[in-house]
Amino acid sequence: MRGLTVHDVHRYIRGVCFKNGPPGTVGAETEWLVTAAADPAAHVPAAGVRALVAAAGDPPGGSRVTYEPGGQIELSSAPCADLGTLHRALARDIAHLRVALEPAGLTLTGRGVDPLRLPRFQAEHPRYRCMRDYFVASGFADAGLAMMCTTASVQVCVDIGADAADAARRWWLAHALGPVLVAAFANSPVRSGRATGLRSSRQGIWTDLDPCRTLPVCDVHTDPAQAWARYALDARVMVRRTAEGGWLADPGMTFGEWVATGEPTEDDLVYHLSTLFPPVRPRGWLELRMIDALPGRYWPVPVAVATALLDDPAASAAAEEAVAPVASRWSEAARDALTDAPLALAARACFAAAIEALPRLRGGALVPLVAEYAARYVERGRCPADDIAPRMQEVAS
């Protein structure tokens, strides 16, 4: 098989990662910490959780169940034609998992970072062991283990765009929305029983990780496919398969350097791209990865808001104007959330535009919940982290 070239990398990314088409499809991934109702500080054996979920059968709404290295459960929806369909299907599947875990005294907990438990590595696949080894070898052991074993998020998946120009606009807007989404949904002020000084400690963990694979793509005003190809080529190789079929962590080179040897194949590129974790990741769709997991009632809110702001033309125009002044305020978003005045102003404008747009996207049934969240948090300059920190500090003391 012929080795991959730099031209091949650009061709694959343009043709697959940024494949154009009429927007409208939406998906979501919800990650959950699994906790014991009687003792939230106790570690829950992942093998027992897997057995309970397997015994309950496939989720009725068609979501795929996977597990993170610390035992967190991830539900990935099927692509849906509209927000209403997505909400109904994923809500059924989350309820299905809750019923499966309840007899064992276990529950799904929506928080961006486990507030009490230290990381405990429980992964079975060698990919995750190699990922752990990579973070150790590259000097990110603490943040790497925390990310793998104690974090959870809500991820929103929307289409790339109708054509190249639309894709470029949506690529910029998804990045510019990032700080507002971090701030509005910050839900992780406590880690290992202590307040961290951040409202989104999850965002702080990602910031402390290997920057070549977790920071935002910096040149979002240029051609997105070119920018993503450059990002991928400059990132270090995390894991590679050996000739014997095993796994090797941290080969000590960037993907571009590996390509120069003539060894990697397209399969290696596909796998390498799966080890890059920026807040916006193109996979044939845009995957928004910067949102903390939320209390069970509110997981649909960021899905509805982000989708409305990217898919509805009027809401997109309002969002573009609102977020332009705060597009680089990632640090302020993680630390201050909506106590930061510019972020609060942008968030209020974005929520108002999203609420107006939802009926046009067959998401009218979600308007009351989004409006409730806006009234409880956004209009008051607050986020879920502001509910948690005082209570968790009392528990820890």
DSSP code string of 245-268? S-EEE--SSBHHHHHHTT---HHH
Residue 362, pLDDT score: 95
Which residue is associated with the tokens 């928004």? 288
Extract the tokens encoding 376. 């409880």
pLDDT of 326-335, one tens digit each? Answer: 999 999 999 9
Residue 17 clears pLDDT 50, i.e. is over it: yes
CA–CA dist 346, 12 (Å, integer): 36
Query: What sign has the CA pseudo-torsion 385, 387, 388, 392?
Result: positive
Residue 391, pLDDT score: 59
Q: What is the mean pLDDT of the chain?
A: 94
Mean pLDDT of 51-70: 97
Q: At what angle do helices 341-357 and 313-323 cross, to 10 degrees?
A: 180
Residue 86 clears pLDDT 70, i.e. is over it: yes
CA–CA dist 302, 51 (Å, integer): 31
Residue 397 clears pLDDT 50, i.e. is over it: no
| Band of residue 47 on the pLDDT scale cut at 50, 70, 90 | very high
Task: Report which residue type is found at 59.
Answer: P
| Total-model pTM | 0.95
| CATH dotted code for 6-386 | 3.30.590.20
Range of weakest confidence among 18-27, 201-210, 302-311: 18-27
Residue 395, pLDDT score: 44
CA–CA dist 230, 214 (Å, integer): 14
Residue 186 clears pLDDT 70, i.e. is over it: yes
Task: Report which residue type is found at 148.
Answer: M
Mean pLDDT of 241-264: 89
